[in-house]
Amino acid sequence: MTTRCSRRAATASSTSTRGAWWRPARALAPGQTARRLDGERTMHLKTAFTRAARAMREDAKLHLVAVSSLTVAFLCLATALLGMANLGEVAEAWGRTARMSIYLQDGASGDDVAQLRLLLEGLPEVRRVEHHTGADARAELAQDEMSELSGLPADVFPASLEVELAGGTDTARIGAVAERISRFEVVEDVETYHGWFEQLATLVSAGKITAVALAGLVLLCVLFVVGNTIRLAIAGRQGEIEVLKLCGASDGFVRGPFLVEGAVQGFVGALMAVLLLFITFLSLRTHIDATIAGLAGIHTVFLQPGVSLALILGGAFIGAAGSAISLRRYMAV
């Protein structure tokens, strides 16, 4: 094969010399040169994809194991991003509809309750006020068939004023309103859910930190898996690489298929992770909306299309980067 390549190169050189002896080479116009270069790039790209597809078919088991490992890694990251998205929805929904519960004293007169309600409705921080009696509270619990409290008498449940606050009301203003309302004799207790908001904010912050940490781990995992897969592929095709170099193949021609293989592994791994997460999300969405999301006052959402696309394209880019690192380390080309 080497002799044949050398013979072809010598023949081509001899032919080129003879042609130059009787006919000068015609210079190409700038536009023709650009079209020729574009054509060569397109041909090299097609060749790289063709050779990569052939190599992946020949080493199907090796690439299948790599894609499976990458799918698990990207699935962990996508799950964390999905949890963050829904926690953000909860925080946004409760921020838009912040509430305050004002529990009334037993035996509070209707005039006192009406006066307090009128005062609340006049505050700029308050959007709406609803009066709930003990019977109303028991009826709400009765809607939950699993609740054992729904069988208790109505006088066990305190009457309350449920206050919906205006959007954008900060915690300090809510606390000031609660302190002012608690001074009324008709008021027994005021619940602002401030502790719940703090826990939710802490949970969202922890989710962001977890997502960033998982992103770093996934990056390392992809680089490791793709790098080792390409290293094994280089070892299995060492003879082919040497022949290509002896025949005058450029560095890009030799490296191209390996870069394509790494990009395809990352792309397919991320795509499979998004699809698996989407199927699981659809199968569990009804149950989650009926329990946890219903209590939080939201409906669960999936990843935004832009986030899913960025995850998939990012997988392809990281896969190609892992392949490039492995090529620089294990192949002297």
Q: Is residue 30 part of a domain?
A: no
Asked if the model's pLDDT at residue 3 lies above 90, the reply is: no
- Residue after which a domain boundary falls, among 158, 176, 192: 192
- Where is mean pLDDT largest: 202-211, 239-248, 291-300? 202-211
pLDDT the model gives residue 282: 92
- Where is mean pLDDT largest: 173-182, 259-268, 272-281, 295-304? 272-281
Does residue 59 sit in the same domain as residue 104? Answer: no
Asked if the model's pLDDT at residue 43 lies above 80, the reply is: no
Q: How far apart are the first and last CA of the chain?
A: 20
The C-alpha atoms of residue 107 and residue 109 are separated, in whole angstroms, by: 6
Q: Is residue 4 part of a domain?
A: no
Contact 117, 129 (CB under 8 A): yes
Task: Read off the pLDDT of each residue in 39-56 and give the average, rounded to a whole number.
Answer: 69
Q: Kindly give, in sequence order, each residue whose CB lies less than 8 Å from that of residue 216, ignoring residues fewer than 6 positions away.
A: none
Distances (CA, A) of 273 to 79, 270, 304, 308, 311: 9, 5, 15, 10, 10
Each residue of 145-199: pLDDT tens digit? Answer: 445 555 555 555 678 888 887 766 667 777 888 888 888 888 888 887 777 777 7
- Residue after which a domain boundary falls, among 138, 159, 192: 192
Provide the edge-to-edge strand list for the sheet that holds 160-165.
Answer: 126-132, 160-165, 99-104, 187-191
With CA atoms as reference, report the closest residue to 77 among 206, 226, 218: 218
* Confidence label for 2 from pLDDT (cuts 50, 70 and 90): very low
**Partners of 161 in beta bridges:** 102, 131
Q: Which CATH number belongs to the domain containing residue 123 in this structure?
A: 3.30.70.3040
Helix, strand, coil proportions of the chain in percent (round to 5)? 75, 5, 20
Does residue 272 sit in the same domain as residue 153? Answer: no
Does residue 178 sit in the same domain as residue 238? Answer: no
Does residue 216 sit in the same domain as residue 271? Answer: yes
Work out whether strand 160-165 and strand 126-132 pair parallel, antiparallel, or are unpaired: antiparallel
Query: Structural domain of residue 59, as residue ranges?
Result: 46-93+198-330
207/66: higher pLDDT: 66
Does residue 265 sit in the same domain as residue 209? Answer: yes
Q: Is residue 275 part of a domain?
A: yes
* Confidence label for 206 from pLDDT (cuts 50, 70 and 90): confident
Does residue 213 sit in the same domain as residue 326? Answer: yes
- Where is mean pLDDT largest: 34-48, 53-67, 114-128, 269-283? 269-283
With CA atoms as reference, report the closest residue to 231 among 149, 311, 323: 323
187/269: higher pLDDT: 269
Each residue of 270-282: pLDDT tens digit? Answer: 999 999 999 999 9
**Residue 138 corresponds to which tokens in the numbers above?**
């028991």
Does residue 311 sit in the same domain as residue 202? Answer: yes
Does residue 320 sit in the same domain as residue 186? Answer: no
Does residue 104 sit in the same domain as residue 60? Answer: no
The C-alpha atoms of residue 275 and residue 217 are separated, in whole angstroms, by: 21
Does residue 325 sit in the same domain as residue 206? Answer: yes
pLDDT the model gives residue 70: 93
Give 47-50's long-range contacts (Cβ < 8 A, gap of 24+): 47/253, 47/256, 48/253, 48/256, 48/257, 48/259, 48/260, 49/257, 49/260
295/14: higher pLDDT: 295
Q: Is residue 71 part of a domain?
A: yes
Within 10 Å of residue 328's Cβ, how many Cβ atoms? 11
* Confidence label for 68 from pLDDT (cuts 50, 70 and 90): very high
**pTM for the full predicted model:** 0.64
Torsion of the alpha carbons at 248, 252, 253 and 254, rounded to the nearest 10: 90
Asked if the model's pLDDT at residue 114 lies above 80, the reply is: yes
Number of domains comprising the chain: 2
Does residue 289 sit in the same domain as residue 262? Answer: yes
Does residue 122 sit in the same domain as residue 243? Answer: no
What's the alpha-carbon Rg for the chain, to the nearest Å? 34
- Residue after which a domain boundary falls, among 192, 220, 237: 192
Each residue of 215-258: pLDDT tens digit? Answer: 889 889 988 998 888 888 888 777 777 787 778 777 777 788 88
Give 110-119's long-range contacts (Cβ < 8 A, gap of 24+): 112/184, 112/185, 112/186, 113/159, 113/161, 113/186, 116/161, 116/181, 116/184, 116/186, 116/187, 117/161
